[in-house]
Structure 1
Amino acid sequence: MKILRRDNGIEDIHMEYHGEIFPRVNIHYSCNIMFPEMILNMIALNELIGLYKRKVNGKKYDFELETDTRTAWDARIAMVRMLQAQFQRAVGRVLSPTSFTRWKNLVHRKNIDIHRMKSPLIDNHNISWLEMDREQREKKLLTLTKRMVEYSRDPDQERYSRIISDAVEEYDCDETDLAFPGIEYPEEINW
């Protein structure tokens, strides 16, 4: 993770004019994250926004209603959407326009049930991602997203998920503590 300090151009005269005190620098955080994990985060954040809107608007909230006055201009939602927009822009640079439209439709699909996905499944996708070269990644991005979105209907993913659940029960540990042969991150990752 990198932490950058950037001068924001605020001078004493600006603070006097506004009658407020502002920091002289902005702090920017950056970290590297792999596409499979970020896709999962995008989907999870969509679900989180839906849950937040439901909490704010009450149980009668319709997830299709994006213009409700209680959440339409909510700053928390706007911050999350800004993060999602930046990632979506990065994906848009990699995919063709047609594939990008399909990708957006997949990521914003309702009822994905992402909370059931096991951590080792994401690790498996990340390791596979690292083993690909740039061209393979571009070709497989849409397929990977589809597999993640539809993982509960994929028999291989379901079988793998059962193996993880059985191992958690057998060893009485958290799924993040499990180590599977062949699923190890390399010592150094070339970002």
Structure 2
Amino acid sequence: MLTMKSTPNHTGVKISGDYFDLDELNQAIYRVIGQEDQYYGYAGSRMRILGISYEIRHAAQGDRNVDFVFNGLHEHTMKQHGFIAPDKNIYFSTEVLWPELIYAAVALKDFVKFYQQDKKFPLWDVHLPVIFRFQSLVLDCLQGHVPTAEFDTILKAFNQPVTVNDYAIQYVDLLNLKYIGMTRQQREQSLSAIAMKLAVQDQDYTTFRNQVLAAAVPHKKPIHEIAIQAEYPEKLEW
């Protein structure tokens, strides 16, 4: 079963599951976000979601964390059925920064809408429930780390028809780096505010986007291709 849990320092979220859980999620992401350049104005958002997909794929291959999880098999059950088997399953996991994961949950709303439009019977699609569960798990994990009143506001923001068309994805980097630079306590206190900034696209985002556009227009580059002067630390204290 796919699970999400905030890391000890609240730097990000640990996404866990067995091989089939992670592979199913990865396959669903690939299907829903479509082919490269399929949706105009969404190349940058697609790249960010693929970054998470990359981590999930490597986790499923055993390249990240390996955990042993109790599988519900008790000693009396083995005696009853006359066999001996391990009482733990192998789970794989990877960590993703909180702002990065929240943005993916927001951006997937647009991709889900496009995907549903292309399907004659989207209600019976096997990939959409996987994506919906992924988004729900992000919010459920978030709920455990923000005050109830603030979480209700975040939920309302997530339900608004805000599009990430031509989104300045560098803003996610800005929030990631700002978040990494905080103390554990500061992260706990600012998590709801960051979630709102990603869900609503406030004045700070608008100002930032205009700055990126000003750099993109003279060179006739798409907004997502503008690089920012910032580097991630080689190692994170999750």
Give the TM-score normalised by the residue count of structure 1: 0.68
Amino acid corresponding to residue 178 of structure 1 in structure 2: A
> What residue in structure 1 maps to residue 75 of structure 2?
none
Return closer, same or farther for 1:27/1:170 CA change in 2, 3 Å cut-off: farther
User: What is the CA–CA distance in structure 2 between the aligned matches of 1:28 and 1:176, rounded to whole Å?
Assistant: 36
Return closer, same or farther for 1:125/1:96 CA change in 2, 3 Å cut-off: same
CA offset digits 1:49-92 (Å, max 9, x no partner): 122222225xxxxxxxxxxxx22342111110121222222112
Describe how 1:119-134 pairs up with structure 2 within 5 A. 119-134=169-184
- Partner of 2:123, secondary structure, is coil
> What residue in structure 2 maps to residue 178 of structure 1?
227
Q: Gaps spanning 5+ residues in structure 1: where?
A: 9-25, 58-69
User: What is the CA–CA distance in structure 2 between the aligned matches of 1:186 and 1:95, rounded to whole Å?
Assistant: 26
Q: Gaps spanning 5+ residues in structure 2: where?
A: 1-54, 72-88
Describe how 1:92-131 pairs up with structure 2 within 5 A. 92-110=143-161, 112-131=162-181
Asked whether the equivalents of residues 39 and 107 of structure 1 are also in contact (C-alpha less than 8 Å), the reply is no
Of structures 1 and 2, the one with the larger relative CO (CA 8 A, separation 6+) is 2
User: What is the CA–CA distance in structure 2 between the aligned matches of 1:130 and 1:40, rounded to whole Å?
Assistant: 16
Between structure 1 and structure 2, the one with the greater Rg is 1
Asked whether the equivalents of residues 42 and 107 of structure 1 are also in contact (C-alpha less than 8 Å), the reply is no
CA offset digits 1:145-187 (Å, max 9, x no partner): 2222232x51x3223212212223445656445132xx32122
Return closer, same or farther for 1:161/1:177 CA change in 2, 3 Å cut-off: closer
Asked whether the equivalents of residues 100 and 172 of structure 2 are also in contact (C-alpha less than 8 Å), the reply is yes
Return closer, same or farther for 1:27/1:56 CA change in 2, 3 Å cut-off: farther
CA offset digits 1:31-55 (Å, max 9, x no partner): 3211111111111111211222222
Amino acid corresponding to residue 166 of structure 1 in structure 2: A
- Partner of 1:31, secondary structure, is strand
RMSD value, Cα: 2.7
Asked whether the equivalents of residues 107 and 145 of structure 1 are also in contact (C-alpha less than 8 Å), the reply is no
1:54 lines up with 2:104 in the alignment: no
* Identity rate, percent: 19
Return closer, same or farther for 1:78/1:27 CA change in 2, 3 Å cut-off: farther
Give the TM-score normalised by the residue count of structure 2: 0.56
Where is the strand percentage greater, Structure 1 or Structure 2? Answer: 2
Asked whether the equivalents of residues 157 and 200 of structure 2 are also in contact (C-alpha less than 8 Å), the reply is no
Asked whether the equivalents of residues 212 and 226 of structure 2 are also in contact (C-alpha less than 8 Å), the reply is no
Describe how 1:20-169 pairs up with structure 2 within 5 A. 30-57=93-120, 70-110=121-161, 112-151=162-201, 153-154=202-203, 156-169=204-217
- Partner of 2:143, secondary structure, is helix
Return closer, same or farther for 1:97/1:51 CA change in 2, 3 Å cut-off: same
Return closer, same or farther for 1:48/1:114 CA change in 2, 3 Å cut-off: same
**How many residues are treated as equivalent by the alignment?**
156
